[in-house]
């Protein structure tokens, strides 16, 4: 196991459990209302998969590119201005090319692959890419071990989450989600230390099943959160009974969770202290409070960096009131 990247001169961190696009947009707001150097993102790696011979880490890269100000805004992932000559050429040569990986994105993934083969750990490599691209917050993978998230469909097929979401188009017929690989993994260097030192722990508005679920499944992480004196505040990814982005509805139903801000609050209730959710769901506040959670009702639609900053500020205010 590699050693964690060392940072000095930081105050107690704000730890953010993070998935992909929703988390990245929230984090972009968070670093506008808190010192960026105080933020530590612990990022899901259950989506990691080999494509075209390279190790692709979708959530790590989306978070890094967004915090570096280089994400493709129209797509929500990848690099702004990137070209797709490599994948288009592979397509012409007869290779499956349903995963659209840009050329510079491919180079970063090739760097990751070469460094892994040379013995470097995923946390060290994530820090190299963060520094090279100019992102200030620390970005940690949840684990350096392989943790593929698998989706079981009602027709009996089992597939990697990326295959389910992109190749198959996220069909509704989800029977279950398998986090077994994460359940036997080890936390990446720096993860447990960041949680132990945290002044606040934020659950970004990410998919509860395949983004936050894998992080919590890694042995030691949920236990560290439970032991931490820091307040834990989650932001609902569900607005008006529907996810803002992605296949959360299908996956929540697949594990028996109601697709609503209240359903997610119940799902998180055993381990969080506070819950931020959208004003469109304000009528649910009394039921959410009845779960024993402190609440903040606000506009949670991150339609701009300013809107993301307002949401992050409301989240931190709730965390501070719980401290």
Task: Tell me the mean pLDDT in the region 214-228.
Answer: 98
- pLDDT for res 305: 96
Span 183-192, pLDDT tens digits:
999 999 999 9
Q: Which pLDDT value is given to residue 246?
A: 83
Q: Has residue 315 got a pLDDT over 70?
A: yes
Rounded mean pLDDT of the chain?
95
pLDDT band at 155 (very low <50, low <70, confident <90, very high): very high
Calculate mean pLDDT across residues 1-29: 79
**How many residues are present in the chain?**
323
Confidence of residue 1 (pLDDT cuts 50, 70, 90): very low
Residues 6+ away with beta carbon under 8 Å from 197: 12, 13
Residues 6+ apart with CB under 8 A from 169: none
Compute CA distances 103 → 110, 132, 162, 256, whole Å. 10, 17, 19, 40
Split into its structural domains, the chain has a count of: 1
* Predicted pLDDT of residue 8: 42
Residue 248 has pLDDT above 70, yes or no: yes
Distance CA 229, CA 198 (A): 8
What domain range includes position 255?
A: 14-168+174-322
In-domain check, residue 7: no
Among 263, 206, 265, 212, which residue's Cα sits nearest to residue 237?
Answer: 206
Confidence class of residue 172 from pLDDT cuts 50, 70 and 90?
Answer: confident
Query: Is the per-residue pLDDT at 323 higher than 80?
Result: no
Residue 4 lies in a domain: no
Nearest residue to 214 (alpha-carbon basis) of 48, 27, 77, 21:
48
Question: Each residue of 65-105: pLDDT tens digit?
Answer: 999 999 999 888 899 999 999 999 999 999 999 999 999 99
282 phi and psi angles, rounded to 5 deg: -60, -30
pLDDT of 109 over the 60 cut: yes
Q: Both ends of the chain: CA-CA distance in Å?
A: 34
The confidence score (pLDDT) of residue 93 equals: 98
Contacts of 234 (CB under 8 A, 6+ apart): 202, 203, 264, 265, 268, 272, 274, 275, 276
Whether 134 is in a domain gets the answer yes
Residue 179's pLDDT is: 98
The pLDDT, as a whole number, for residue 9 is: 46
Average of per-residue pLDDT across 12-39: 98
pLDDT digits (tens, 9 = 90+) for 136-148: 999 999 999 999 9
CA–CA distance, 275 with 208 (Å, rounded to integer): 14
Cα–Cα distance list, 32 to 10, 39, 72, 184 (Å):
17, 11, 20, 36
Q: Tell me: the pLDDT tens digits for 259-301?
A: 999 999 999 999 999 999 999 999 999 999 999 999 999 999 9
**Given CA atoms 198, 201, 204, 206 in this order, what sign does their dihedral have?**
positive
pLDDT given at position 10: 57
Q: Encode pLDDT of 32-60 as tens digits.
A: 999 999 999 999 999 999 999 999 999 99
% residues pLDDT > 90 (the chain): 92
pLDDT of residue 244: 87
The CATH number of residue 119's host domain is: 3.40.50.10680
Would residue 8 count as lying in a domain?
A: no
Residue 38 lies in a domain: yes
Task: Report if residue 62 sits inside a domain.
Answer: yes
Q: In the structure, what pLDDT confidence band is assigned to residue 7 with cuts at 50, 70 and 90?
A: very low
Percent of the chain with pLDDT over 70: 97
Q: Would you place residue 245 in the very low, low, confident or very high pLDDT band (cuts 50, 70, 90)?
A: confident
Tell how strand 150-153 and strand 138-141 pair up. unpaired
Asked if residue 53 lies in contact with residue 109, where contact means CB atoms within 8 angstroms, the answer is no
């Amino acid at each position: 196991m590699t050693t964690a990247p060392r940072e000095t001169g930081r105050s107690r961190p704000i730890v953010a459990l993070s998935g992909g696009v929703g988390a990245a947009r929230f984090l972009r707001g968070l670093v506008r209302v808190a010192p960026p150097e105080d933020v530590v993102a612990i990022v899901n790696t259950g989506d990691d998969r080999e494509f075209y011979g390279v190790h692709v880490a979708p959530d790590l890269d989306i978070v890094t590119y967004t915090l570096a100000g280089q994400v493709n805004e129209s797509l929500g992932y990848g690099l702004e201005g990137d070209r797709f000559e490599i994948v288009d050429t592979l397509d012409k040569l007869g290779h499956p090319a349903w995963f659209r990986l840009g050329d510079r994105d491919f180079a970063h993934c090739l760097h990751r692959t070469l460094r892994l083969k040379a013995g470097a750990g995923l946390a060290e490599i994530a820090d190299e890419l963060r520094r090279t691209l100019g992102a200030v917050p620390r970005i940690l993978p949840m684990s350096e071990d392989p943790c593929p998230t698998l989706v079981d469909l009602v027709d009996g097929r089992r597939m990697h989450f990326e295959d389910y979401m992109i190749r198959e188009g996220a069909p509704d017929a989800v029977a279950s989600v398998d986090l077994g690989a994460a359940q036997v993994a080890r936390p990446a260097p720096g993860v447990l230390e960041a949680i132990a030192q945290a002044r606040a722990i934020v659950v970004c508005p990410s998919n509860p099943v395949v983004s936050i679920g894998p992080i919590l499944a890694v042995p030691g992480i949920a236990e560290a959160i439970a032991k931490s004196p820091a307040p834990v505040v989650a932001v609902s990814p569900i607005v008006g009974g529907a996810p803002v982005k992605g296949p959360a509805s299908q996956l929540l139903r697949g594990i028996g969770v109601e697709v609503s801000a209240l359903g997610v609050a119940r799902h998180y209730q055993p381990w969080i202290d506070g819950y931020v959710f959208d004003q469109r769901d304000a009528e649910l506040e009394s039921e959410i409070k009845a779960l024993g959670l402190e609440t903040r009702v606000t506009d949670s639609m991150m339609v701009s960096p300013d809107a993301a900053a307002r949401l992050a500020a409301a989240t931190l205010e709730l965390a501070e009131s719980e401290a």
